[in-house]
Amino acid sequence: MALRYDTATTPPPSFAEGGNMRQKVRATGLDPNYWYAVEFAHRIQPGQVLEVVFWKRSIALFRASNGELHAIENRCAHRQLKLTLGSVEGCRLVCLYHGWSYDGEGRVAAIPHPLFGKTMPELRVASFPVRVRYGLVWLFPGDPALAEGRALPEIPELEGPGRWACRPLSFTWSAHHSMIIDNVSDFTHAHLHRKYRPFGDARLLRCETVGDNVHVSYDTEVGRGRISGLFVDHRRIDTNHMELCYQYPYQWSNTDDAIKHWLFVLPIDEHRTRMFFLFYFKSFQIPFTRIPIPRGAMDWVLRIANRWLIAPLLDQDRSAVEAEQNAYAQHWTAPIAELNPAVRAFQEVTVRKWQAYLDSLDAPSDAARRVPSPSASSQAK
């Protein structure tokens, strides 16, 4: 029997249109009722505004002259221009066109032209809670009433006087967020990294979903690359084992409590994802010795490692997942041949959480959880 040449003639289905697990997961957003890393805190200075996109919703993030950060819907209530085209004046964001100015809660606070005998209208756009931690700006794109009850990821190693060295990296890849989660937690792709050898010979020991978390562990050889291997003290650190977790919507890994990372994804749309990688290390050794590199020098070592090891390594992942995204658009009808059960487990959680979020929007008793839609959130009071 001749094999079918499986090229799709239509675009992949939306989430509502359904399909198999892979087709559903590639169409999911992430539940907005979590905190999402959206920018490095130092990248937005007083008087600056920039655009953040969370799952197709544009948000204007601005820092007032007093240093406070605010996030409001990126849409002027007057004629819908993006507010990020405007400027920050004092504690307000001023629209480019007619100069209407918005406070941090998204209220129109001033209109600088005549009102033609009318009273000042009470208008506002949606606003979003913002926090700063670990050098990142965190935004809560969902229902603001739920923000207090939702914790940010706890990373004690990155706070306090004895904090570990960490220089976060950020990239925007042309791929769905689920492909990136699959990539970072699935160690069957050592072939892609055969030049750098961040892991190798991986054997899956555990794959268990507990609530909204998928725990995975591998016996694997960590950090055996020609250069990276010189900096890791393999006699003090057990580099033959790694724990990972998809802690929805985040992801982390841990090698012997000495080498760790967190990945925070920011879903932009079905084809684009921004991500923040925080790799952090208890210590490195001076190559060919067992002498730890002094803490003061670790930031410099990490700068060099990011540039010459980690960024090139992740660029290999970028090229692979972007190729996967392109391939999915062309061959989404082709049968799935997935061997690693961890991949299926991640996808099940992502689909379940997205379905639960969509269901919460439809539940009449739960109307308060609804994230205001762009058209509904501009209210004339």
Is the Cβ of residue 14 or residue 319 nearer to Fe ion in the bound state? 319
Is the Cβ of residue 78 or residue 215 nearer to ligand FES in the bound state? 78
User: Among residues 198, 165, 226, which one has the least CA distance to residue 317?
Assistant: 198
Is the Cβ of residue 297 or residue 327 nearer to Fe ion in the bound state? 327
Cis peptide before 287 (omega within 30 of 0): no
295 binds, among ligand FES, Fe ion, none (CB under 5 to 8 A by kind): none
* Residue 79 interacting with ligand FES (CB under 6 A): yes
Find the shortest distance in angstroms from Cβ 71 to ligand FES: 18
317 binds, among ligand FES, Fe ion, none (CB under 5 to 8 A by kind): Fe ion
Cα pseudo-dihedral 172, 251, 271, 378, rounded to 10: -90
User: Among residues 317, 293, 291, which one has the least CA distance to residue 305?
Assistant: 293
Contact pattern for Fe ion over residues 258 through 297, marking x by CB under 5 A: ----------------------------------------
DSSP code of residue 107:
B
Residues 226-285 that bind ligand FES (CB under 6 A): none
143 binds, among ligand FES, Fe ion, none (CB under 5 to 8 A by kind): none
Residue among 38, 60, 95, 302 that touches ligand FES (CB under 6 A): 95
The H-or-E segment that residue 220 falls in is none
Is residue 276 within 8 A of residue 249, CB to CB? The reply is no
286 binds, among ligand FES, Fe ion, none (CB under 5 to 8 A by kind): none
Q: Which residues have CB under 8 Å from 237's CB, separation 6+?
A: 255, 256, 258, 259
Residue among 90, 97, 257, 291 that touches ligand FES (CB under 6 A): 97
Is residue 189 within 8 A of residue 313, CB to CB? The reply is no
Is the Cβ of residue 95 or residue 232 nearer to ligand FES in the bound state? 95
Angle, CA of 103, 376 and 44, to the nearest 5°: 35
Q: How far is CA 368 from the centre of its chain?
A: 25
Number of residues that bind ligand FES (CB under 6 A): 8
Find the shortest distance in angstroms from Cβ 25 to Fe ion: 19
Is residue 153 within 8 A of residue 85, CB to CB? The reply is no
Residues 49-78 that bind ligand FES (CB under 6 A): 76, 78
Beta-bridge mates of residue 252: 245, 262
- The full DSSP string for 190-217 is TTTTTTT-SS-S-EEEEEEEETTEEEEE
Is the Cβ of residue 128 or residue 279 nearer to Fe ion in the bound state? 279
* Residue 186 interacting with Fe ion (CB under 5 A): no
Residues 297-336 that bind Fe ion (CB under 5 A): 317
Is the Cβ of residue 74 or residue 185 nearer to ligand FES in the bound state? 74
Is the Cβ of residue 32 or residue 106 nearer to ligand FES in the bound state? 106
37 binds, among Fe ion, ligand FES, none (CB under 5 to 8 A by kind): none
- The full DSSP string for 322-370 is HHHHHHHHHHTTSPP----HHHHHHHHHHHHHHHHHHHHHH-GGGGGGP
Q: Largest Cα–Cα distance in the chain? A: 80
* Residue 121 interacting with ligand FES (CB under 6 A): no
Q: Tell me the one-letter amino acid at 270.
A: E
Is the Cβ of residue 110 or residue 204 nearer to ligand FES in the bound state? 110
- Site residues (vs ligand FES, CB under 6 A): 76, 78-79, 81, 95, 97-98, 100
- Site residues (vs Fe ion, CB under 5 A): 317
